[in-house]
Amino acid sequence: MSNLIEIKLNADQTEGTKATVAQWLKKVGEPVVKDEPLIELETDKVMMEVIAPADGVLTEIRVREGEAAEENIILGTISEAAVSNHTNEIHKAEETPNQNISSDLPRKNPTAGQPDPPSTFISPAVRRLSQKHNLDLTAITGTGKNNRITSRDVHAFLQNKPTFVNQVIEHTEAGSEIIPHTQMRKIIAEHMQHSVQTAPHVTSVFDLDLSAIIRHRKANKESFASQGIKLTFTAYFVAAAVQAIKHQPKVNSQFHEHGLEIFKHVNMGFGTALGDDGLIVPVIHQAQNMSLLEIAKELTRLTENARNNQLTQKEVQGGTFTISNHGVSGSLVATPIIINQPQSAILGLGKMEKRVVVEEHNGQDMMVIKPMCYVSLTIDHRALDAYQTNDFLSFFKQTIEHWKA
């Protein structure tokens, strides 16, 4: 009797993130091996793989490419008995070599029972893309399990080719074009719209003097670099935000209808732009237990993974507070910065620039040049009020402007 195994997602894989089936790597009737990549899922954050839960033959696909893959929904089924039947037919054919063997049956080889080596396994979708664009797949770095090339890797490669022009849908009106949305862009749009519709956004803006952290960074940058760690301004902002959260814990929270959930841990997300591909938010977990060195090290690692499309699902999940360092692209103020739901607040840092400010020296007002930037906190007004907002920003400002090693 055939034993059907259900293919499902678990909570650890999704953690509430909306996922879509990008492609099935096997067809119905094909044999699969336990732990072999079976499905590619795409979210607004990363590309995930669903592996086969058992040896067998894929007997049914219930959630097709482009459809939503939700937690505990049956994506398809595998028959354990079917693989035994295939094996018996192969053995029988081998014992009678003069008999014609169906080309549909898998051939026995020295590595029978094992998946194709990652370097040689090419999914049908990837193969179609490579043929369509005449690509040499050896030139593409894979980010799937065991460095297998995914369809997203191919699209990223095409977007980085100087001679490649994005495919467009021509509009009926001359002089315009429609560029189809990627799945990531669709999900980002949905997430942003949901956040604005869910939470009343209010933003407070402070001025920030960066002189103290610039001096500290200048004195310590080389020693960090000798350990392979980039000491960026973002590392200081993360460390100062952790201290400000310890001072005003309600900022690190989630609003529920029955009450405000305040987190004891600080999982700090930081927005990382991926060019035209969108935005991703890697998460520094348990940042409240880290030194500046440890924060900078984790920032370096996660930023490199994000830019190389190598983030795991865990590295973009579980955030409790987010920083948007939008100043790196030249922005002075961005408001409101949309809250990363279901969090209660998001911190924004603008471009650093030298400005003339007035200071009092020996009873006299003097104009001095300072490296300044604007810092903002956008809050969910259901969860927080002006008091908590400005209390947080005041402490954050004091921490940065009186930085101590």
The set of catalytic residues is 381, 385
For residue 111, report the phi and psi dihedrals to the nearest 5 degrees: -110, 30
Report cis status (omega within 30 of 0) of the bond before 336.
Answer: yes
Report yes or no: 323 and 238 within 8 Å, Cβ to Cβ: yes
> Would you give the distance in Å from CA 83 to the centre of its chain?
37
Helix/strand/coil (H, E, C) string of the chain?
Answer: CCCEEEECCCHHHHCCCCEEEEEECCCCCCEECCCCEEEEEECCCCEEEEECCCCEEEEEECCCCCCEECCCCCCEEEEHHHHHHHHHHHHHHHHCCCCCCCCCCCCCCCCCCCCCCCCCCCCHHHHHHHHHCCCCHHHCCCCCHHHCCCHHHHHHHHHHCCCCCCCCEECCCCCCEECCCCHHHHHHHHHHHHHHHHCCEEEEEEEEECHHHHHHHHHHHHHHHCCCCCCCHHHHHHHHHHHHHHHCHHHCEEEECCEEEECCCCCEEECEECHHHCEECCEECCHHHCCHHHHHHHHHHHHHHHHCCCCCCHHHCCCCEEEECHHHHCCCCCCCCCCCCCCCEEEEECCCEEEEEEEEECCEEEEEEEEEEEEEEEEECCCCCHHHHHHHHHHHHHHHHCCCC
Contacts of 300 (CB under 8 A, 6+ apart): 228, 229, 230
